[in-house]
Structure 1
Amino acid sequence: MAEEVDYEALPSNTSLGVNMLAGALAGITEHAVMFPVDSIKTRMQVFATSPAAVYTGIGNAFTRISSTEGMRALWRGVSSVILGAGPAHAVHFGTYEAMKELGGGNCCWKSMACNLYGASATIASDALMNPFDVIKQRMQVHQSEFRSVFTAMRVVYRTEGLSAFYVSYPTTLTMSVPFTAVQFTVYEHMKKLLNPSGDYSPVTHMIAGGMAGGVAAGVTTPLDVAKTLLQTRGTSHDAEIRRVGGMLDALRIIWKRDGIKGFGRGMSPRVLTHMPSNALCWLSYEFFSESILS
């Protein structure tokens, strides 16, 4: 009898390329589908000076944005995500699989190993994605002046310099490393719990991925609020926010202006975004891996 092929243990001579391509396709799919909810999250996290830009919840934001600006406003900035998500997710999954292989293959039930693999993948992918994320959020804010990704990049670079694209990178890493570590750890544990045999199971990937994304998103929301403040500082009319220089400054302003509840800004749409998007990401990743090999 021929030896059964483990669908996650791809051949050594093709696994890196396959996983990188699968990750790129999965990342684009994930971000594009949930983009309108992500736009609402960004607007809820921004410290707006205009009452027209203050939203009380997901439903309130959706109704007001769609009625006053049109549905297209919820998709503004999606091109930046598509441009950045492909290469960033390719690097993310490629690094994850390479690290997992170096660690002995499919041994991610060990929590420390999961943390190392996920953290390494995040450091590499966020270095590519951070500038695109800055542009995305600049385009998502209320009354954004930008309609083109390249115009936004040119204007931000000319007026604020290269540092504007990376002022949030330390905060992004501070948030994304634990996010990804929690995500991969919960995903691997849930996958083994729901499917001990290890057989290919799309339902398992969706459930485990969704739960992992929701838990990780909720835990890291305070840092995401700080990241949004840093990335959108150039759009603010508030002098203090425009001068914010790093994560600690951002956290101080959030506490000063909104107290403890400020660190939960946008948690609902953030969790709502990451649960289905993470489920879709893992489902797409495994599907594309299988399709490429078949």
Structure 2
Amino acid sequence: MAQPIEDYEYEALPENSSLTASLLAGAFAGIAEHAIMYPVDSIKTRMQVIQPTPQAVYSGVINAISKISTTEGAKTLWRGVNSVIVGAGPAHALYFGTYEYTKQFLGGNREGHHPIAAATAGACATITSDALMNPFDVIKQRMQVHGSVYKNIIDCATKVYQVEGMRAFYISYPTTLTMTIPFQSLQFATYEYLRKVLNPSGDYDPMTHITAGGIAGAVAAAATTPLDVAKTLLQTRGEATDVRIRNCNGLVDAFKLIYQRQGMAGFAKGLQPRVVSHMPSTAICWGVYEYGKWFLNSKDSQPILH
């Protein structure tokens, strides 16, 4: 009679498969997350630019989609998507691999709620993944702005490097970390809490992961929007004609400039598309990731027949 030796818990980390499963599942999740919601991310970038052209002023997400599709073509909303696809796979593999290893090390997989372990694991994950992803994010945003003349991501990377040097790809890295560490800490802690509340058994449940992921993404996105506005300014400064913007140097300088030009309202620029994009994208990311981890671990835990 065929019987499994024992049941396995997909949330656990089998010695021979956990890291590989987390890396592969994370790569799939990252690509899905960024690619599916990319047009809304493009709108967010344009709405956050501190010196927009008259043709790139929008009253909301729907207005932006209509205006861009009519005047520039719907394809414009996807400019630069190759950059995040190329970067998101390895960056998210590193991201989720670091998260799972750190969470396990800190005892976050034990029974009960462990928000500090989840938040710390999220912070460690984003430090490592952002170091890899930051240049790709710079290229993406340079291609998203109105009037971008770059032919493709290689053309963009080459010209930015020739004109501004390697520093252009990492000037926003400290600001990115200042934003993403609290973002990911808040997102992971919220996700882990909601996942355990909605599904105390810990069994694989797609609706739990999607719901918890969506809420966690929306909360974290709204809370860190001011930092995202500053990051966009730093990553797109080379495309501005304003000397003050082009010479903006770091988070504090960016905050001062945003406040001087737009007041407190400037720090909420792009809030709507940021939440609109992060809520479904984070839900997709967690849904794909948890499915991938469950699927890959189940393959490594096939019942032994005897």
Question: What interval of TM-score do these two structures reach, taking the shorter chain for normalisation?
Answer: over 0.9
Conserved? CA contact 2:108–2:117, under 8 Å: no
Answer yes or no: is 1:209 the counterpart of 2:213: yes
Task: Return 5+ residue gaps in structure 1 as ranges.
Answer: none
Tell me the equivalent position of 2:302. none
Whether the aligned pair in 2 keeps the contact of 1:31 and 1:85 (CA below 8 Å) is yes
- Counterparts in 2 of 1:274 and 1:246: CA distance versus 1, 3 Å: same
SS at match of 1:48: coil
Q: Which runs of at least 4 in structure 1 moved beyond 6 Å after TM superposition?
A: none
Contact 1:53 1:142 in 2 (8 A): yes
Deviation at residue 102 of structure 1 after TM alignment = 1.2
Amino acid in structure 1 at the alignment position of 2:10: Y
Residue from 119, 136, 141 that aligns with 1:137: 141
Q: How many residues align?
A: 294
1:187-266 alignment to 2 at 5 Å? 187-266=191-270
Residue 55 of structure 1 deviates from its aligned partner by 1.2
Where relative contact order (Cα < 8 A, 6+ residues apart) is larger, the structure is 2
Matched, 1:115 2:135: no
Q: Which residue of 2 aligns with 1:27?
A: 30
**Percent identity over the alignment?**
58
Partners in 2 of 1:133 and 1:139 — Cα distance?
A: 10
Q: Give the letter aligned to residue 83 of structure 2.
A: S
Instruction: Give the equivalent residue in structure 2 for 1:159.
Output: 163
The answer on whether the counterparts of 1:42 and 1:266 sit within 8 Å (CA) in structure 2 is yes
Equivalent residue, structure 2, for 1:268: 272
- Local SS of the residue matching 1:279: helix
- Offset of residue 153 of structure 1: 0.5
Alignment map for 1:5-20 (pairs within 5 Å): 5-20=8-23
1:104 to partner: Cα distance = 2.6
Tell me the SS of whatever aligns to 1:180.
Answer: helix
Which sections of structure 2, spanning at least 5 residues, go unmatched? 300-306
RMSD across aligned positions (CA): 1.2
Which AA in structure 1 matches 2:224?
T
Distance 1:29 1:50 in 2: 31
The answer on whether the counterparts of 2:230 and 2:251 sit within 8 Å (CA) in structure 1 is yes
* d(CA) in 1 for partners of 2:113, 2:162: 47
What's the TM-score, normalizing by structure 2? 0.94
2:281 counterpart of 1:277: yes
1:71 aligned residue: 74
